[in-house]
Each structure stands twice: as structure tokens, then as C-alpha cells.
Structure 1
Amino acid sequence: MGNSMIHWRPKTWWIELHQRWHALTREGRDTFWLLGMLALVLLPHATRLPWWANLGAGIALAWRARLAWTDGKLPSRWLLALMLVALLIMTWLTYRTLIGREAGITLVVVLATLKCLELKARRDSLVCLYLGFFLILTQFFYNQGIGTAVLMLGAVWGLLTALVMGQRPLGRPPIAEVGRDALRAMLWGLPLMVVLFALFPRFGPLWALPTDANGRTGLSDTLTLGQVAELALDDSIALRVRFSSTPPPPEQMYFRGPTLDNFNGLVWEPGAPALAKPQLSGAPQSYEITIEPSSLPVLPLLEGTGKAMVSAGGSDRLTVQQHGIEWIRRGGRGERLILQAQAWPRWQWTEELRPQLRRHWTRLPQGVNPRTQAWATQLLAEVQARHPDAAASAPQLLVSAVMNHIRTARYSYTLSPGLPAQQTPHLIDDFWMDRKEGFCEHFATGFVVVMRAMGVPARVVTGYQGAELNPVDGQYIVRNSSAHAWAEFWQPGRGWVRADPTAAVAPERVQRAPRPRPFAGLPGPLSQLDSSALQRLRDMWDAVDNRWNVWVLQYSRGQQMNLLKSLGWQQPDFQSLGQALAWGLGLTGLGAAVLAWWTRERTPHQPWDKALRRMHKALTQWPVAPPTGPEPAAASAWRVALLASWPEPRTGEQEALLRLLHELDALRYGPTGTAAQTSQPSQWLSLVKQIEALSRPTAALASAAHSRT
């Protein structure tokens, strides 16, 4: 083969891909960019949409991307119509409606992706862009966190870049250049956005999301075995607390939620009327609590809270009222709240328990959990035999006996107790007598059933227990993983007394709040990894997220009025807010005008510019139409216009003027380095003065001729 050998160098796939990308047409490249931005907007919706919507959107985007890559033919309108009908039918079968939030968002996603399959004109791309902007707004129906805001801000920039590319139909402008222009446009709009955010009046329902659009987190007002255990696996934040003085120890941080009185053998739910407010004593603890959105009317405040008021968040009609030992919200459900509150360390009821209420709090369903009730009756007899004269303190003695049984009978605490081997209505029997392992809800409900079987009024309380300190901002964070269930029993002379049977079997659960690992939720051994550095990052993120909630999401009418007070308004109202908004918009517009003037494109003034303007002004005195085009016109353009208007023979003034224009043009555009081009501006001005001298009498004669006619 010798000299005829061919040297072959293989090309890697990425080199071929790079070459193919640069070989794409302008339309193909812009289409890929638009499809990528739409995919970014749709990505957060993937976990909320039905599987067929995700599949259809993915197929449509991938199909259109392939057509752009191969410059293929778009599908026919008949095929697109059939696909649309099929997706409408699937939407109806899934939601049983074509309106509403879930069905509406699904339809918008379907329409946006199908529209990409007929993307061939500028109008089609504009429709896809507008649908993309609308889908950005729908993201905030589900999540308004800072992460979603940053992601959607990037999506806005991407769609604006696609919009700017659509306004430049000629050539192939680089994406980086167009992206800078889009970013510049966003920065230009930033001051206006800040002014509107700070001063635009907050009034519902315009400034509120739909009721079903708010996130739901936290406890329920009913309890079935397994419910609290599900929340224990949820590391999302339920509430944040900041204490004004030394905080209570973790074992005393009980944030009381719904009180559950009625039991039908399977479900616990509230049902008893509240007693009068308890008497509070001791030095109160002041604290600020931020409660994440919840659908519950009961506010999970620190036990013993006797005073509470809303300081931020919620609608105008939101109020909080004390109902016995609980605090109830009136209005403002599904909204984040910030309250200022005070809690007392000791409280008691002075009134006696009426027989009707005693019967209510000792009632058990007939024929359910017979073994546990029989065991409780036996324990009652044993305690009474050991303490025949202790009738007044009998409830406390019975509680001590039950707690001792939990500690010594080999009960165990687990987050995954499982279900009974066979379906049975006797769930308490299965836990108390057989398996003896469970979660806080098992111990609390079992304890209440035992106490009621012994004739002691008792009830279940759900809420949160414990909190973790965030060293970054000094707040205590209570996560849904701190959801807890405990019990209360009635002690004559004191009223309701807290009893936490979980502390008897797992004291570490009460004394130390569960702190999630940074890798919690990952599969296998990765979920067990822990790192102080990663935990520090998580604490910082929680602190930043809290600031976002307070400064942005909780910015309400009250904060607007406080802002006006700081700006000098003594008693601000809506009229003051309108005045501040007008001032803000006016100053923003003035600043934009000044900035636009300052950053305008400036044409550098060269020495001959002044002379050229004087020449143009003088020549306009002649009764000749000026040259078309930008002003001032060049000397050569004026000479051509005059030659066309003055046929031979010409007057001496006309010939002199044409000669002067020729000399002036030669001075400006002479060969590089010639004496003419390097002449001083005084020579240009001398020629212009001669042109002005010739133009004045001509203008006077033209004016005189015009007056005679």
C-alpha cells in the first residue's frame, strides 16, 4: 500500500454533534431553544400531572425536536386534531371536568405541547411563548418557595430570549448576544417590579391565590392508626419559633393541635364542648411563631398559651380565638401566619367535671377491644387493693401503674409497626396485648382506652413535640417529622393533666427532636450519611427560606402601612398608599428617562459636523427640494440635487455654488494623507461661509418673488 496509504482519523460523536448543531438552520436552532425552555417550565409539573399527560407532552416535544433536527415535515392538521380530541377525552376521564385548577393546567400543558407540532410561523411561536409564560404563573399555585421563584426567573429569561430572537428575523444572531439583551430588558423592568410589589394595594381576592391553590401541610383533625407515622417521615417545616428569653427544654416543647375526644373503634375525632379557660400561673414565656399553610382551624401553639395575636400574614378578616386550652383561627385557612404569643408554664381548671362530660370522656365503643378493657379492669382492682385509702389521688396512681407497665412489659417504639396479620376491628388489642410495638399514636390511643376502661376521663391530643435550633438565625424549627400524639387525663382539683406514654418507652423521642440527615430520602446507605458541613448548609437554606417567607410571601397590607409610616405618613390609609404608588411610579419613570438619555447611543462629533450642519441650513433657503435621507445631507448629495433642478445654462451664482460644494466634498473625502483631507477646519468653515453668502440674497429674491405673487 506504501505511499497510497490513507490516514483515517475517527471522529467522536460529540464532534459530529457539534458540527451538526452549527449546520442547523436558523429556524431549527431557535426551535430547539424554545422547546428547551418549555421543557424547563413543564418540568416541575411532571409530579402533578397524570401519567398520560406527561407521556403526551414528552412525545410531542421530542417529536418536534426531531423534526427540527432533520428539517422534516410537520404532521397534518387531521392528526393533530385527533390527538387533541384524545387528550380532551383523557382529561375528562381523569378529572370528570374540563374546568378547574387541575384540569385547566393539564389542558394548557397539552395545548402548549401540541402547538409545538405546528410551529412553522412567527405567530405560532408567539402562541407557544405566551402559553409558556402562563404556565410559569401556574407553578406558584403549588409552591411559592424561593427555589421555585429562582427556577421560574430563569425560565422567564429563556422565554424572553426566544421572544427577542423572534423580533430579529434577519441573519443568525448569536444566542449569547440575544440573551444579554433579554437580561438587560429584565433589569430595566426590575425597579418597576419593586415599586409595584411594595406599594400596589393588597386587597382580596385579587392579591390571593385560589383557596385550593395553597399548600397543605401538618396534622388532620382526625386520627387513624398510621396517620401520624406518615407525617413522621416528612421533613418539611411545619412551624418556626423564636423565643424572647431562655427557651423551655425540649421535653416541654409541646405544640398543641386538635384534641380528639370521640372514638368509634377505629377513628378518633373531636366532639366534646370546651371547658372554661384554665387559670394560668408562673412567669409567661413570650415567643413569635410562624405557622406554615394548613387547612386546620386549630393553631398548633405552645401548650399554656394564654395570649396570641396575628402580627403578619392572613386575610383582613382573620382572627384567632381561645377555645378552652386550644386556639382557633377564624378565616385565613391555607395561609402562612406569624403570631406573637405568650405561654404560661402552669395551668389548671378550678371547675368540677360535670357528670355528663365525665360520661363522654369515659365512653368506649361496645364490643371493641375486649381484651384491653378486661386487662384494665384487672389493673384497676390491683391498684385499689394496694391503695384502699387513696381515692382522691386514684387517677395519678392509675397513670403511674400504666406507665410502669409500658416500661417493663417489653414494649418497643418503631416508625414502621406494620398492620395486623388479619383484618380486625380490635386494633388496640392487637397493639396492647400482642405486638407491643408501635408509634406515638399507638401508645397514646392505647393509654386513653385503658384509662377510660378504668373509669378515668381521658382524651388524645395531637400536635408537635420538640424543636431543633437553627444556629444561623436563632430560630427553632419544628418539622412535620416532629408530629406527635399524647394523652390527657382528668385529675380532680387540677383538671386536665398531660401524660405522654411514648416517653415511658422511648424517652429520647421526647427529650431530643428528630433532626433529619442531609441525605435523608436517598436509597440505601446514602440515606445514613451525615455531615456537619452539609447540615450547616441546610441550616443556612432554612434561614434564607424563612427570610423569603417573611419579606416576600408574608408582605401584606400591614407591612405596606408600616412602610408608609417609616416614609413620613402619620396615619396611612389607601389614599396615602395611592399617593406613594404615584410618587414611586413617577420617580421610576423619571429615573428610566434619565438612564435612557445617559446610555443613549452617541454619534461622535467630528470637526466637519458643525460645518456640514451650517451648509445644510443655508442650502435649504434655495427654492430646491432638499436631498432625501438623513439630515444634514452631504455636500455631494446637495450638488446632485441642485444639478437636477438647475438645467443649463446656469447663472453665475449657481455655478459658484456648485463649485463650492465640489471643493467642500473634496476636502472631506479626499485621498488619505492628501493635503486636502488634512486641512484645518478653518478651510471648511471658509467654504461654508461663502455658501451662506450666496444663499442669503437668493433667499431674499425668492421671498420677494413669493410676496409679488
Structure 2
Amino acid sequence: MKLPTFSHLPRDTRDTLFVLAVIAWVVAPLTQEIPLWCSLLSGAVMVWRGVLAWRGQPLPSKWWLMALLGLCLAATLLTFRTLLGRDAGVTMVVVLLTLKTLELRARRDAFVVFFLSFFLMLTNFFYSQSLLTAAAMLVALLGLLTALVNAHMPVGRPALWQAGHLAGSMALLGAPIMVLLFVFFPRVAPLWGLPSDAMTGRSGLSNSMTVGNIASLALDGSVAMRVRFDGPPPPQSTLYFRGPVLSYFDGRVWQARPSAMPNRFRLPAELQVSGEPVRYQITLEPNRLPWLLVLDATPQTPVLVGKTARMTRELQWILDQPVTDLLRYEVQSYPNFQHGPRQFMPGLQEYLELPAGFNPRTLQLAAEWQRDPRHAGASNAQWVDLAMQRLRSEGYSYTLDPGIYGQHSADEFWFDRKAGFCEHMASSFVILMRALNVPARIVTGYQGGEQNSVDDFWTVRQSDAHAWTEVWLAGQGWQRVDPTSAVAPGRTGTLQRLSPPRGVIAEAIFGTVNPALALNLRAAWDAVNNRWNQWVLNYTQNKQLDLLKNIGFKEPNWQDLIYVLCAIVVLSSLGGAAWNAWERHQQDPWLRLLQQAVAKLHAAGIRFSPASTPRQIARQLLSAAPAASPHTQPQQQAWHDWLIRLEALRYARPEAGQTGHFKHQLATLHSELKHLQWPK
């Protein structure tokens, strides 16, 4: 049996399948955010509804729907422990929308489905405001508008492309108004936040560092921030963007020293800078973390709008609230700096603490070095050089697949595996330094990045997340030491960095692509995304006020934005009304001619129904008084013939190329109307 094609399906079936396809497009990006059971249920329901439409079978009873809805409510409550909030709310909207398709019987039901789909389309921006998401939702918008227009064409079987053409025209006509509203509508803080990403097993920045429980590291290529330097950028190997400083170690986890832990000797920052500063601007991606990432070292508060920041004694800048939307700030950093006490003081003692019962071989190595006559009286700097020399000369390697480390992670790194990524090296190095009575700590953040050849912005990705160390040296204070640079100089320099191995499919697709072409395409895409971030997502109220200054406002404020917005709305409404009047005047000259004839007859005292056709009016005129006089009969007949010709012109089907003939006949009728008079 030959199955019918999509174009030959019954209209109800065709329209239903089209609506289901649009709904699937809207729901698809949310499958990464909603529970797995919700994604599976939604897919199964839409497939079920599509099969019913294809076979022309009846829809399930309302009892089935009530049972499914009850199960979904229970599952949502069990998953989120609440029916309120963003994630639970989005899950319930997906459930309601997909279940509503099972009672899609009348136009009223279709309109409910359309409006639920419009709302669900907006919820995609709760989780991502990227350019790809915006493009996908634009396609969804055009699809929903097409379905909505098609639903308002109940007669016949209009093609979907006709509804799509009308929907696209409507969207284009509304685009200028949308742009103006975007530009001038007062910017307010977002009504929602972005979810925090799970960093376990993936590269990226976190507020703690667990050593050894990740068998392999997957490089996350998503953008963490973009940097634009005002002048020549510093060397890539010196680009250390400072994040959390980790000094407390319990044997497995490094974290910032808990504030509840007593410490009578808080070390002051004692930051001293010299030389010329590096000026730059950072656009930080949303991460729900309260950290302001800057280059070492930044004594002045970065310039940012709507947030306040403070610097800790470890030189980390912390915001008063997490970063939930795109944040841009200007920074001035000094590559030449010193910080921390120059002489040993009691507060440094906390950077020598090690938990008991961990890494005995590393402690023994430190003891052997201290007993070695060759190292008698070695300074802290000499111990650092000795450890770095061991990393360079004894076969240590940087890898993304070190395997799972056990309880004594430093012992395994120094003596057994001799392989790891930056967290293993930094942790093992600090443990060895503390065993040598050298104060040391771990600093996390981002290192390096890549310069985009298209727009000259530096792109720092999550894969650039890094951990390095700081050791205390007498007379110098805290000094940066990066053990990874001793093992893999390319990780912190300009050489090729490690990348995860491709799978079979990825290798088949991208294996033959020219690397230079791939880099150029990636740079172009990053530049486009950066423009999206700078001009759309980061379009702030300050930019709005600057725009008002450029158009003539001396000291604009948010009230001026309201005035401008009201003026735009009024002018747009007046323009729309004028356009509608002009379009009606231009679009149907036949109807305008009929209205002129009706007005002329009304002035002569002839009354008839407003819904009368020209033929009905003509018949009424033949029977109207005075019709008995032979002097009035020709005038009545002239009106009758004129109206019949007018109707024939309306409903005749002119052949191709006869548009000019139609206009000529219309002009002739218009000229004749001027001479027609109703007998008195």
C-alpha cells in the first residue's frame, strides 16, 4: 500500500503534524535541562499524537489525560521537591503543552497550544542566551506564526508556504518596532538567573579542588570570558587570571580556609606595584560565581556597573553577588608587583599545615632532602628550584588521562604515575613545599587564551582553567610558581595545548578538515558570538543613556527613556493607522468605487441593506419610484447596467497580462459614475 505524501494528506492531518514538528523544535533545546522522564514522556506523547493524526484515529478520553497529568505532577514533585521555581515550572509547562496536543480537537484548543508554545519558547532563554539559541527560537517563532496564520484560514486547503509567507511578512513588518523597543526600553535586572554548571570531570573553575577522583578530564571548549587589551597584549605565558586561592587541605580536597576556622594572625595583602599598568576590558560569561577574574595584580577596583567588589588578602576580587548575566568591566593591572609579608610572621603558619596520615613518601622525600649535606641551609627559593628540577628531569608528563588516584595522591604523582594535569602537579608541589617548611598555597583561575585574528579579542575558554602555586620567599613575599610549566611548557606558552582525542564519528567528520581552515572558521564564529555578546546581551542602561546623549539629550536618565519610548509607541501607532488607511485606499479601488456609487444613491434618498451586492441594488433601483415615467426609465436602466457591469468586473477572471485592461475599465466606470443622476 502506497502511503500518501505530506502534501496529499488531509488538511487536519497535515496541520497537526506541522504543529507537532514546531513543538518538538521548541522542546528539543530544553531536553538538557528538564528531567529525563519528562523528555521521554514528551517525545512519546508527540509520536502517539502524530500516529493518531496520520491514521485518522480518535483521540484518547479525558480520563487518560487526567491520569497522565496526575503522574506528571507526582513525578515533578518527587524530582524537584516542589512545583514552584524555574526548573519545576518549565517541566510542568512542557508536560501541559504535550498533553494538550492529545485534545487538539477545535480551533480553541489549537490557540491554547500556540500560546503555550510561545511561552515555552521564551523559557529557552532562562538557560541560554547564546546566538545559537536566539537563531533556533527565531525559527520556532516563524513556525508558530505560520501555524497561527494557517489556523485563521479555515476555508479550503491553503498551502503552508502561503501561511509561512504571510507570517514572515508580518515578522518583517514588526522587526523595526522590536528593534526600537530593544534599543529604548529601559534595561532592568534579569528576572531569572542561569544555572551553575556541574564541573565534576570537566575543565573549568570551581571553589574547591578535589585531587585524584577524576580518571580523565574532558576539555570544555565553551567561552569563559573575552578580553580586549587597550594596547599590545602581554605575552601569553604571563596571562594568569586570578580566581580562588586554596590554602586548606584535608587530604583529598583543597579549599579556601573556612571563615569559621580561628586565625588570630590574618596576613595583610601588602600589595606593591610598579611599572606601567596593563589596561583591558573583560566580558565575563554568566557562571553563578561571585568572582571577578583579573590579571595579577590589580590594586584598584575594576570599573563595573551595578555591582560592588572587594579584594581579599589573597588578592582575589569578589563581587557582592554571583554573576548571573553577561558582565563587562574595565581593569588596570600591574604585571610587576609584590605582595605578602617580607619577613616570616605567625600568620604564615597556616600555609605549612598538612593533614596527618597522608602522603608519607612525600614527607620522607622532604626529610631526605633536608638531611642531605648538599642542601644544608637551603633557602625557600632553593627548595623551589630543586622541586622544579625534579619535574623537568625525571620523566613527568602532562596528560588528560591520569587515572584515578588513591588516598596518597602526592605520593602517587611523585613516585608512581608521574603523570597528571595541573591540579595533580599543583597539589603535589604544595604538599612537598609544606613538608620542606616552605609556606605554599594553590591559586586557581585561567591561564592563557587565544587571540582572535578577526576582532583581536582574546578568548579564554573553560579549557584554559588552571591551577598554579604561590610560595613565600623571605624578602620577596608571595611568588608565583607554576609546576605545570616545568612539565608542559606548551600549556602555559604559545605552543599547541592538549586536546581530548576525537571519537570515531568526530574523526570521520573533521579528520580531513584543514587545521588552518578549522581555526579560521572557529575565529570567525567566536567573533560573531562576541559581537552578539557586546551589542545585544551586554546592551546596558549606560549604553542607552549614551545613545540619548548622541541624539541630543544633555543629561539623560531613565525618565527620558520612558518619554522616548512613549513617543515611539505613539508615532508607531499613528504610522500604522496611516499605513492601514493608505493600504485600504490603494488595495481595493473597486470597493472604493462601489462606496462612491452607494453614497450618491443615499444622497438621492435610495436606501438598501449595507450587505447588498451590486446586482441586488440594481434590481431594487428598477422597482423604485418614480419608474412609470418614460423620462425616468432610461436613467434607472443606466444605473442598473452600470451596477451589473461593475459586478461583472469584480468577479470576472482576467487572463494573464490583462491587468491594464482591468484598470482601464475601472477608470471608464468611474468616469461614467460622474454623469449618472437619479431621476427626481
The TM tier, using the shorter chain, reads: 0.7 to 0.9
Partner of 1:302: 295
Taking the aligned partners of 2:611 and 2:87, their CA distance within structure 1 comes to 58
Deviation at 1:327, TM superposition (A): 1.6
Distance 1:620-1:444 versus aligned 2 partners, 3 A rule: closer
Taking the aligned partners of 2:676 and 2:89, their CA distance within structure 1 comes to 77
Taking the aligned partners of 1:381 and 1:32, their CA distance within structure 2 comes to 80
Query: Are 1:579 and 2:569 counterparts?
Result: no
Question: Helix, strand or coil for the counterpart of 1:305?
Answer: coil
Query: Are 1:24 and 2:9 counterparts?
Result: yes
1:187-237 Cα shifts (integer Å, max 9, x gaps): 122122112111111223xxx142355778841111112589977611111
Partner of 2:247: 261
The answer to whether the Cα contact below 8 Å between 1:466 and 1:513 also exists between their aligned partners in 2 is: no
Partner of 2:164: 179
Counterpart of 1:551, as a letter, is: W
Partner of 2:330: 340
The answer to whether the Cα contact below 8 Å between 1:627 and 1:637 also exists between their aligned partners in 2 is: no
Q: Which moved more, 1:299-308 or 1:133-142?
A: 299-308
Task: Select which of 451, 461, 468 maps to 2:450.
Answer: 468
Query: Are 1:127 and 2:92 counterparts?
Result: no
Report matched runs for 1:342-357 at 5 Å. 342-349=332-339, 351-353=341-343, 355-357=345-347
Query: Are 1:563 and 2:547 counterparts?
Result: yes
Partner of 1:289: 282
Query: Are 1:364 and 2:326 counterparts?
Result: no
Counterpart of 1:258, as a letter, is: P
Deviation at 1:32, TM superposition (A): 0.9
List gaps (5 residues or longer) in structure 1: 1-12, 673-677, 696-709
Taking the aligned partners of 2:336 and 2:129, their CA distance within structure 1 comes to 39
Partner of 1:703: none
Taking the aligned partners of 1:461 and 1:679, their CA distance within structure 2 comes to 86
Counterpart of 1:403, as a letter, is: M
Task: Select which of 524, 536, 544 maps to 2:520.
Answer: 536
Taking the aligned partners of 1:670 and 1:491, their CA distance within structure 2 comes to 102
The answer to whether the Cα contact below 8 Å between 1:468 and 1:515 also exists between their aligned partners in 2 is: no
Partner of 2:309: 320
The answer to whether the Cα contact below 8 Å between 1:444 and 1:486 also exists between their aligned partners in 2 is: yes
Taking the aligned partners of 1:601 and 1:680, their CA distance within structure 2 comes to 15
List gaps (5 residues or longer) in structure 2: 258-262, 653-663
Report matched runs for 1:439-454 at 5 Å. 439-454=421-436
Counterpart of 1:477, as a letter, is: T
Taking the aligned partners of 1:442 and 1:652, their CA distance within structure 2 comes to 114
Taking the aligned partners of 1:685 and 1:437, their CA distance within structure 2 comes to 96
Partner of 1:220: 206
Deviation at 1:599, TM superposition (A): 4.4
Taking the aligned partners of 2:187 and 2:533, their CA distance within structure 1 comes to 16
Distance 1:395-1:523 versus aligned 2 partners, 3 A rule: farther
Task: Select which of 347, 359, 374 maps to 1:386.
Answer: 374
Counterpart of 1:582, as a letter, is: C
Taking the aligned partners of 2:227 and 2:332, their CA distance within structure 1 comes to 12
Taking the aligned partners of 1:181 and 1:96, their CA distance within structure 2 comes to 45
Q: Which moved more, 1:500-509 or 1:45-54?
A: 45-54
Distance 1:647-1:63 versus aligned 2 partners, 3 A rule: same
Query: Are 1:93 and 2:44 counterparts?
Result: no
Deviation at 1:513, TM superposition (A): 6.3
Deviation at 1:653, TM superposition (A): 5.5
Deviation at 1:47, TM superposition (A): 2.4
Report matched runs for 1:261-660 at 5 Å. 261-271=247-257, 273=266, 275-311=268-304, 316=306, 318-324=307-313, 325-349=315-339, 351-353=341-343, 355-382=345-372, 385-386=373-374, 388=376, 394-420=379-405, 424-512=406-494, 523=505, 525-526=507-508, 531=514, 532-600=516-584, 602=586, 619-626=601-608, 628-629=610-611, 634=614, 637-638=616-617, 640-646=619-625, 650-651=628-629, 654-655=632-633, 657-660=635-638
Deviation at 1:326, TM superposition (A): 1.9
Deviation at 1:129, TM superposition (A): 1.1
The answer to whether the Cα contact below 8 Å between 1:232 and 1:480 also exists between their aligned partners in 2 is: no
The answer to whether the Cα contact below 8 Å between 1:518 and 1:535 also exists between their aligned partners in 2 is: no
Deviation at 1:443, TM superposition (A): 1.0
The answer to whether the Cα contact below 8 Å between 1:298 and 1:327 also exists between their aligned partners in 2 is: yes
Taking the aligned partners of 2:674 and 2:51, their CA distance within structure 1 comes to 65
Taking the aligned partners of 1:185 and 1:519, their CA distance within structure 2 comes to 48
Taking the aligned partners of 2:328 and 2:31, their CA distance within structure 1 comes to 32
Distance 1:245-1:230 versus aligned 2 partners, 3 A rule: farther
Partner of 2:50: 65
The answer to whether the Cα contact below 8 Å between 2:38 and 2:91 also exists between their aligned partners in 1 is: yes
Query: Are 1:107 and 2:92 counterparts?
Result: yes
Residue-pair matches, total:
653
The answer to whether the Cα contact below 8 Å between 1:286 and 1:342 also exists between their aligned partners in 2 is: yes
Query: Are 1:143 and 2:128 counterparts?
Result: yes
Distance 1:114-1:300 versus aligned 2 partners, 3 A rule: same
Deviation at 1:447, TM superposition (A): 0.8
The answer to whether the Cα contact below 8 Å between 1:406 and 1:505 also exists between their aligned partners in 2 is: yes
Distance 1:555-1:282 versus aligned 2 partners, 3 A rule: same
Taking the aligned partners of 1:492 and 1:656, their CA distance within structure 2 comes to 121
Deviation at 1:408, TM superposition (A): 2.2
Counterpart of 2:448, as a letter, is: G
Deviation at 1:568, TM superposition (A): 1.0
Deviation at 1:323, TM superposition (A): 2.4
Task: Select which of 152, 162, 176 maps to 2:147.
Answer: 162
Aligned-pair identity (%)? 39
Distance 1:231-1:560 versus aligned 2 partners, 3 A rule: farther
The answer to whether the Cα contact below 8 Å between 1:518 and 1:538 also exists between their aligned partners in 2 is: no
Deviation at 1:683, TM superposition (A): 11
Question: Helix, strand or coil for the counterpart of 2:357?
Answer: coil
Q: Which moved more, 1:595-604 or 1:140-149?
A: 595-604
Q: Which moved more, 1:150-159 or 1:330-339?
A: 330-339
Taking the aligned partners of 2:298 and 2:387, their CA distance within structure 1 comes to 29
1:540-587 Cα shifts (integer Å, max 9, x gaps): 110000110111111111111111111111111122111111222233
TM-score (norm 1): 0.84
Distance 1:215-1:202 versus aligned 2 partners, 3 A rule: farther
Taking the aligned partners of 1:500 and 1:472, their CA distance within structure 2 comes to 31
Deviation at 1:70, TM superposition (A): 1.2
Question: Helix, strand or coil for the counterpart of 1:169?
Answer: coil
1:82-137 Cα shifts (integer Å, max 9, x gaps): 22222222222222222222222122111111111111111111111111111101
Counterpart of 1:322, as a letter, is: M
Taking the aligned partners of 2:671 and 2:570, their CA distance within structure 1 comes to 45
Distance 1:294-1:429 versus aligned 2 partners, 3 A rule: same
Taking the aligned partners of 1:664 and 1:402, their CA distance within structure 2 comes to 107
Question: Helix, strand or coil for the counterpart of 1:99?
Answer: coil
Taking the aligned partners of 2:7 and 2:639, their CA distance within structure 1 comes to 51
Distance 1:145-1:516 versus aligned 2 partners, 3 A rule: farther
